[in-house]
Structure 1
Amino acid sequence: MGIHQFTAKQKSGKEIDLKDYAGKVLLIVNTASKCTFTPQFEDLQKLYVRYREAGLEILGFPCNQFGEQEPGSNEEAAEFCQLNYGVTFPVFSKVEVNGEQADPLFQYLREAAPFRGFDDANVNEKLLKMMIADRNPEWLVGDAIKWNFTKFLVDANGTVIKRFEPSDEFSSIEKEVESLLA
C-alpha cells in the first residue's frame, strides 16, 4: 500500500489520482500563508527548482487547522504562494490533516510516518511544543500533525520514507531527497 492509491483535489476542485506521480520522489507538505513557518515556501521552491528535473515533485496542501493561518479560498492560497514566493509546484485544495474530517491521504501519511517526538534540546521545537500546548493541546499526543509545514518524503514507488517536522533543517531534508533521487 502506498500513496498512489489516493486522490487529491486541485485548487479548482478537480480530483486527480496520485498514481499520476508514480516514478517521482514526492515531498508532501501541509502549508499556510499566515504562519511563522510560511517563509519555508522559499526553501521549498529552491528545492523544487534544484531537483525537479531529477524527479522531485512537491505537493502543497493548504490547511486552516493551525491557528486559522490559511483563512482564504483555495485560489487565494495558491495565488499567495505564487505571488509572494514564486511557487511553481502544485498547490492543491485546502484540507484538514487531523481529526475526524482529516483527508484520507493525511490519515495515511500520519500512520505511515509516526511522530518522532519533540527534541527538547532544540529551541525551535521547545517553542513549537509550547505553542501547541497553548493552542491545540489535543495534538501533542500521538501521531497527529503538530503544525503547518510538516513534510512527508515519499519514494518513487509511493512508499512513505520519512516525516519532517516544521522545525527540521532544510539541509537534512535536501540530503534525504538527494539520496532517493540517486
Structure 2
Amino acid sequence: MTTLYDFQPRLADQTPFPLEQLRGKVLLIVNTASKCGFTPQYNGLEAIHRQFHARGLEVMGFPCNQFGAQEPGNAEEIGAFCEKNYGVSFPLFAKIDVNGEQADPLYQYLKKEAPGLLGSKAIKWNFTKFLVRRDGTVFKRYAPQTRPEEMISDIETLLAE
C-alpha cells in the first residue's frame, strides 16, 4: 500500500526529497504560480510557515504552469521571484504537472485521498491546498480561493493531535 511517505518529489535543484523525513510533521502542500491572481497568497503561506514551523508544520510549494501558463519561469526565476516579492523561506519544489498523464505521483496520490467538490479529482487552479496530518493521512483539501489564514484553526487542531 502506498503512503505519503513513499514519495520523493524533487526540490527546485532536482534533488530528490524523501517525504519520509517529514514523518511526524503536519504538511501544507500547495501548487503555486507566480503570475496568478492568487499569487499574493504567498504572503499568507509564509506567515503560516513562520508562525507554526517550530511546532511541526512544513509548508511545501509546488510550482505548476498548467493553469493559464501562470508559472512560465525556470526554477531559479521562480525562487528569486518568491524570495524577493514575498520573502518565501519554505521549500519550493521543481515545477510539476498536477493534472493529466504527466501529473506528479504525489499529486495523483493527494487527489485520490482528498477529492474536490462533487468527488472531482482534478486540481481546478493554482493554490489548491492539501493539509496532511502528522501520520501522513490527508486531512482536507482547500479551494484556491481559501486564504492561508483561513486554515489556521485546522492547522492548530492538527498540531495539537
Aligned to 1:97, the other structure's residue is in SS state: coil
Give runs of aligned pairs for residues 114-153 of structure 1, distance below 5 A.
114-117=115-118, 142-153=120-131
**In the alignment, which of 148, 152, 158 is matched to residue 136 of structure 2?**
158
1:18 maps to a residue whose letter is: L
Aligned length: 159
**Is 1:2–1:160's contact at 8 Å kept on the other side of the alignment?**
no
1:101 maps to a residue whose letter is: Q
**Is 2:38–2:127's contact at 8 Å kept on the other side of the alignment?**
yes
Offset, 1:171: 3.9
2: CA distance, partners of 1:30 / 1:47: 16
Aligned to 2:27, the other structure's residue is in SS state: strand
Which piece of structure 1 moves more, 74-83 or 59-68? 74-83
Aligned to 2:31, the other structure's residue is in SS state: strand
Aligned to 2:152, the other structure's residue is in SS state: helix
The answer for the alignment partner of 2:49 in structure 1 is 48
Unaligned segments of structure 2, at least 5 residues:
none
1:85 aligns with 2:63: no
The answer for the alignment partner of 2:157 in structure 1 is 179
1: CA distance, partners of 2:3 / 2:81: 31
Unaligned segments of structure 1, at least 5 residues:
118-140
User: Could you say if the C-alpha distance between residues 36 and 107 of structure 1 is closer, same or farther in structure 2, counting changes exceeding 3 Å?
Assistant: same
The answer for the alignment partner of 1:73 in structure 2 is 74
User: Once the two structures are aligned, what percentage of the paired residues are identical?
Assistant: 52
CA RMSD, Structure 1 to Structure 2 (Å): 1.2
Provide the TM-score with structure 2 as the length reference: 0.95
1:88 maps to a residue whose letter is: S
Offset, 1:16: 1.5
Provide the TM-score with structure 1 as the length reference: 0.84
Offset, 1:146: 0.2
**Is 2:10–2:94's contact at 8 Å kept on the other side of the alignment?**
yes
1: CA distance, partners of 2:147 / 2:97: 25
The answer for the alignment partner of 1:128 in structure 2 is none
**Is 1:26–1:58's contact at 8 Å kept on the other side of the alignment?**
yes
Offset, 1:170: 3.3
The answer for the alignment partner of 1:37 in structure 2 is 38
Divergent runs of 4+, >3 A: 169-172
Give runs of aligned pairs for residues 17-36 of structure 1, distance below 5 A.
17-36=18-37
1: CA distance, partners of 2:83 / 2:29: 17
1:94 maps to a residue whose letter is: K
